Amino acid sequence: MTDREFSEITVEEVAALGAMRLAKLVLDHAWHNPALAKAIERTMAARSAPDVLAERLRSEIEDIQDDDVSIDYHSVPAFVDELEGLHSSIVNAILPDHPRVAAELLEAFIRLDETVFERCDDDNGQVHSLLVAAVDDFGQAWTLVPDRDVGTLAEQVLDLYLDDPFSVRSHIFQSFQAALGDAGMAAAEAAIRRRLQALPQTDSRDPAGGRPWLLNAMRRLAEVTGDVDTFIESHTLDGSETRNARKIAKRLIDVGRHQEALDRLEAVPDPDDDEKNGIDALRADTLELLGRTDDAQQVRWALFTRTLDTEQFKKYVARVSDDADAEQARIRSTALARDFPRVGPAFSFLTATNPAAAGELVLARIAEIRRNRPTNLERAAQTLAPVAPLAAVLILRILVDDIVDPGRSDWYDAAVRHFVAADKVAAGVTDWQGHADQAGYRARLKATHGRKYKFWKLLAAVEQDR
């Protein structure tokens, strides 16, 4: 048999090696792979009896809980493998036939967050994601326990929600909705209310039971059950009703209480600009739901004139029945964008609705665009290239300069991509209107940044392959 890549070897070919030979290979490898060794030990324990495996898993979880050795970035993958092995063994080998035991193990597994994150470098979130996923399995395990006491379980779930410093269990009410059922969810709400009433006048900020945390629990529970009135009450009790008017209005809209939603939106006193824009967008939609189309259109147009929000303009035009009126709205919007004080919104709007006018804006206000850097410039250049090639080239040059001028060498490959794209688009430019042509731009770049050898080497390699 000739040498082959590992990816080319089939399952059937490995099986043909024979069980004894494979077992020796696995054991030899396990000496140098702790995760594999533990997986073998768990599998062997599972062959004995479920309680033997459960005891072994419980012991492994306790070992991790008690360990105080730091887990640096390089050790995280092996640690994740260990956690995944534990999680998989609980879910696949214990949960189907012994859900109560699995639930106990999963709770202990989830509570590893109490020590693990103090010593683990989890910048990429792998450990956090694994523990979050285990919460769903925890809820599923309790769903399979036939004699569960939903009142007691509701208290346990609430305690886990409140004692959650690393946001592993923030979705636990949703994970346990099936296990608790309507009676259990009502018991959880009743427990929250009892604890709120029992709090002393001097409010504790203890995350395991302070007023803010209990009100947050009430809010999250109401979101899961769809209880709008309890959701509103949770904001009323902590004085956050006004600043959360949009959240409340959206939930009122979802349950068909449109006039209440509108009343709340219109009652917000002196919102700041961003909040006013969000409120008005929702107001327009709510007015439309109430059949007040003309009022909705007035709000929508006023919002558009303040923001040049493309989505609001599209909604406005879509509801204009007369084609001539719709065209007049487009003409007005383009004129408004040309003279809009902030070039970023103007550029974004025109790029989406009138690329030719966006090209004119670039030529007229290139200095502002260079200073303010609107978002998605590369995509905008692609949109402008067929109708306004000079504007597209100037945009691509901004992207090149943004990288090469400060010497951001890790991004030189992107700068090369933008430079090459500008070269291609430049072929369609017939009048440079006082701007340097592409050869002149290259010469300036070379004169200013000739010693940035990595950039020029990457560019030369790409151009050679073209």
Residue 202, pLDDT score: 60
Name the one residue in this structure whose structure tokens are 């090696």.
Answer: 17
Q: Distance of CA 369 to CAs 174, 190, 246, 305, 399, Å?
A: 46, 57, 33, 20, 11
**The CA-based dihedral angle spanning residues 64, 70, 74, 80, taken in that order and rounded to the nearest 10 degrees:** 20
Residue 201, pLDDT score: 64
Per-residue DSSP letter, 291 = T
- The answer to whether residue 327 sits within a structural domain is no
Neighbour count for residue 77 (Cβ, 10 Å):
12
SS3 71: strand
Which of 25, 16, 122 is closest to 75 using CA atoms? 122
Helix axes 273-289, 293-307, angle to 10 degrees: 160
* Residue 30 scores a pLDDT above 60: no
- The answer to whether residue 364 sits within a structural domain is no
In a shared domain, residues 130 and 213: no
Strand partners, 71: 120
- The answer to whether residue 257 sits within a structural domain is no
Q: Which of 215, 241, 267 is the last residue of a domain?
A: 241
Which of 329, 331, 439, 435 is closest to 389 using CA atoms? 435
* Residue 205 scores a pLDDT above 80: no
Q: Which of 124, 145, 166 is the last residue of a domain?
A: 145
Which of 162, 166, 171, 154 is closest to 208 using CA atoms? 162
pLDDT digits (tens, 9 = 90+) for 232-287: 999 999 999 999 999 999 999 999 999 999 999 999 999 999 999 999 999 999 99
Residue 178, pLDDT score: 97
- The answer to whether residue 384 sits within a structural domain is no
Supply the Cα-derived Rg of the chain in whole angstroms: 31
Integer Cα distance of 312 and 300 in angstroms: 6
Q: What stretch of H or E contains 22? A: helix 19-30
Q: Distance of CA 287 to CAs 19, 298, 302, 382, Å?
A: 72, 10, 14, 38
**Cβ-based neighbours of 228, under 8 Å, separated by 6 or more:** 222, 248, 251, 252, 254, 255, 257
Residue 75, pLDDT score: 86
Residue 74, pLDDT score: 85
Residue 387, pLDDT score: 97
In a shared domain, residues 152 and 141: no
Judged by average pLDDT, the poorest of 201-205, 220-224, 285-289, 458-462 is 201-205
* Residue 456 scores a pLDDT above 80: yes
| Residue 192: domain span | 148-241
- The answer to whether residue 62 sits within a structural domain is yes
Tell me the two tokens of residue 29. 């490898």
Q: Count CA within 13 A, CB hemisphere, residue 77.
A: 2
In a shared domain, residues 89 and 57: yes
In a shared domain, residues 60 and 117: yes
Integer Cα distance of 211 and 202 in angstroms: 10
Q: What are phi and psi of 120, to 5 degrees?
A: -115, 135
Integer Cα distance of 116 and 99 in angstroms: 25
Q: Which of 212, 241, 270 is the last residue of a domain?
A: 241
What percent of the chain has a predicted confidence (pLDDT) above 90? Answer: 77
Mean pLDDT of the residues in the chain: 91
**231, 222 in Cβ contact below 8 A?**
yes
| Domain total in the chain | 2
In a shared domain, residues 18 and 79: yes
pTM of the model: 0.79
* Residue 25 scores a pLDDT above 90: no
- The answer to whether residue 273 sits within a structural domain is no
Neighbour count for residue 212 (Cβ, 10 Å):
13
In a shared domain, residues 18 and 135: yes
Burial label, 321 (beta-carbon count in 10 A; 0-12, 13-18, 19+): exposed
In a shared domain, residues 160 and 116: no
Which of 418, 438, 421 is closest to 429 using CA atoms? 438
Integer Cα distance of 16 and 14 in angstroms: 5
Confidence of residue 374 (pLDDT cuts 50, 70, 90): confident
pLDDT digits (tens, 9 = 90+) for 289-347: 999 999 999 999 999 999 999 999 999 999 999 999 999 999 999 999 999 999 999 99
In a shared domain, residues 106 and 185: no
In a shared domain, residues 107 and 196: no
- The answer to whether residue 15 sits within a structural domain is yes
Residue 50, pLDDT score: 62
pLDDT digits (tens, 9 = 90+) for 112-166: 998 999 898 888 899 999 999 999 999 999 999 999 999 999 999 999 999 999 9
* Residue 39 scores a pLDDT above 70: no
**228, 252 in Cβ contact below 8 A?**
yes
pLDDT digits (tens, 9 = 90+) for 375-399: 899 999 999 999 999 999 999 999 9
**242, 265 in Cβ contact below 8 A?**
no
Secondary structure of 86-115 in HEC code, one letter for each residue: HHHHHHHHHCCCCHHHHHHHHHHHHCCHHH
In a shared domain, residues 141 and 155: no
Confidence of residue 58 (pLDDT cuts 50, 70, 90): very high
Which of 264, 315, 258, 255 is closest to 289 using CA atoms? 258
- The answer to whether residue 389 sits within a structural domain is no
In a shared domain, residues 18 and 113: yes
Integer Cα distance of 133 and 175 in angstroms: 10
Confidence of residue 1 (pLDDT cuts 50, 70, 90): very low
In a shared domain, residues 136 and 167: no
**136, 175 in Cβ contact below 8 A?**
yes
**The CA-based dihedral angle spanning residues 199, 203, 205, 208, taken in that order and rounded to the nearest 10 degrees:** 0
